[in-house]
Amino acid sequence: MQPGTVLAARYRLERAIGAGGMGQVWAARDEVLGREVAVKVVDGGVGDDLERFRREARTAAGLGHPNLVTIYDAGIDGGTAYLVMELLPGPNLEAYVAARGVLPESEAVALAEQIAAGLAAAHAAGVVHRDIKPANVVFQGPGTVKIVDFGIARLAQSSAARLTATNTLVGSAPYLSPEQVEGRPGDERSDIYALGCVLTTMLTGRPPFQGDHPLAVLHQHMSSVAPPIRARNPGVSVSLDQLVGEMLQKSPDERPATCQQVIARLQEVGTVGASAAGDTVAATRVMPPSAAGGTRMMSPPTLPLAAGSGVAGSAGSAPGRKSPIRAAVVAAGAVLLVAVVVAAVLLGRQGGRSQGPQSATSATSSATVAGVRTNSTPSPAPSTGAGTPTTRRSATAPSTPSLPQALAGLHDAVNAEVVRGVLDPKKAEELTKRVDQLDKQLSADGGKDADKQVKEMQKYLGELTSKGELSTQGSRQITTALAQVRAAL
């Protein structure tokens, strides 16, 4: 295909925006309705393959869900099958993780819930995606993602036998389920396995299995135990690690049976994780900073983790997930590790704000991707060296957080609501802008007009809540964070 090609006397291809083993995605213009669209084109052959694609595309076009790309049209022009979809602003999840590095657990869980919700809607209509991967999850706006490429996977699957004969890999090796590797068609649980791989990528920066050749990766899907998430990222909760482990079981019968079950588990993880994080932060914030001359926690690096730079954990050497001894040791160590990580982050932020522009930049560097204000620094593995603070000092320390800590908590509360996708993108952008302005004002004048700005923020939150544009839970959390800022002035 070339720019300027017109399909079905209607869709003019303008520029290629993606490519895969089975075709290309183009930004195009619908010359009948005068709107920008995305067009996936596939040279699908003839006969049964194209008819199968036509049926699958019609089914996919009937799907309607906030987390599934909207399909406008599908057809066959000559020997080319095409699927016309809404054009999303992006980026896709693959590019997002590459730019940010390891995602915070709360954000990864929120995004996984959306992916699972979209898959549940598709599965209810009898459609299995079969090619779930970060590149096929695209941001529609701040905190909101959609699954793309429905209708194409069936054609790819039907061509698998023909392509395998020439050693051409169909699909994405790091995200293929064992049954797909064996050549079986797969079902809803195959998508669940792939989602487990995607969650691993979000939480560790790379999929569960890697290798120098796709065949080596496929072999690991078949025979190697997936490394526990916590072996690479100790800050991840035990409950989430266990869920991902179940999703990555070799036998489909040992995985969660439906995406609805996955969603319920993710919601439990989010609830427990938020409660545990709140308790840990409350206990850790009250610690006084290190004395002069003592060991000071350094701010996290501002570069994303490289694919091989996490905590060592290869597929071949991964211990079994069901060992009660290992589970007990991991659970016991998790408390200390989480406390150390939180202390490092908070002390890093406090030190960054008090030591001039250069330090502040390294401690609070952020990136705006697809309109979402998010921290750009992945959490590093906690230090275990001398000078690590403990929580024993919390009994005698003051309970009010410092201003930098309170502002960090406010940013986190707002970002959490944005990631959940509850807010309208424009409202989310406005709310984030107001928090940024408050932060800058406090940094500039030490809080001269802060009380007025806090009251304006509270009024704006009230308006959003009364109109149903902000969840009650989100309003309560942000209001509480605002109160902490006010108390710290």
**Residues forming the annotated binding site for ATP?**
40
From the list 73, 131, 241, 439, the catalytic residue is 131
Looking only at the bridges linking them, the beta strands covering 80-86 and 35-43 are antiparallel
Distance separating alpha carbons of residues 252 and 249, to the nearest angstrom: 7
Question: At a CB cut-off of 8 Å and minimum separation 6, what does 471 contact?
Answer: 417, 420, 422
Residue 418: CB partners within 8 Å, gap ≥ 6?
Answer: 142, 143, 372, 373, 428, 431, 432
In DSSP terms, 366 is beta-bridged to 375
CA dihedral of residues 197, 89, 129, 8 (deg, nearest 10): -150
Q: Which of 309, 258, 293, 295 is nearest to 121 (CA)?
A: 258
Active site residue 412: no
Q: How far apart are CA 176 and CA 157, in angstroms?
A: 12
Tokens of 344: 């490092």
**Beta-bridge partner residues of 42:** 81
| CB of 411 closer than 8 Å to CB of 104 | no
Residue 375 CA to residue 57 CA, distance in Å, equals: 38
For the stretch 83-108, what's the b/e string if a residue is b when 16 or more beta carbons lie within 10 angstroms of its beta carbon?
Answer: bbbbbbeeebbbbbbeebbbbbbbbb
CA gap 416, 127 in Å, rounded: 31
Which residue bears the tokens 């009380």?
A: 451
- Tell me the HSE value of 139 on the side-chain side, using a 13 A CA sphere: 23
Positive or negative: CA dihedral 228, 230, 236, 238: positive
| DSSP assignment of 295-333 | --PPPPPSSPPPTT-SS---TTTPPPTT-HHHHHHHHHH
Q: Can you say which residues are annotated as belonging to the binding site?
A: 40
Helix (H, G, I), strand (E, B) or coil at 260: helix
Q: Alpha helix locations (H) across 165-204?
A: 178-181, 188-204
Beta-carbon count within 10 A of 389 CB:
20
Strand ranges inside 236-310, DSSP E:
none
List, by residue number, the catalytic residues: 131
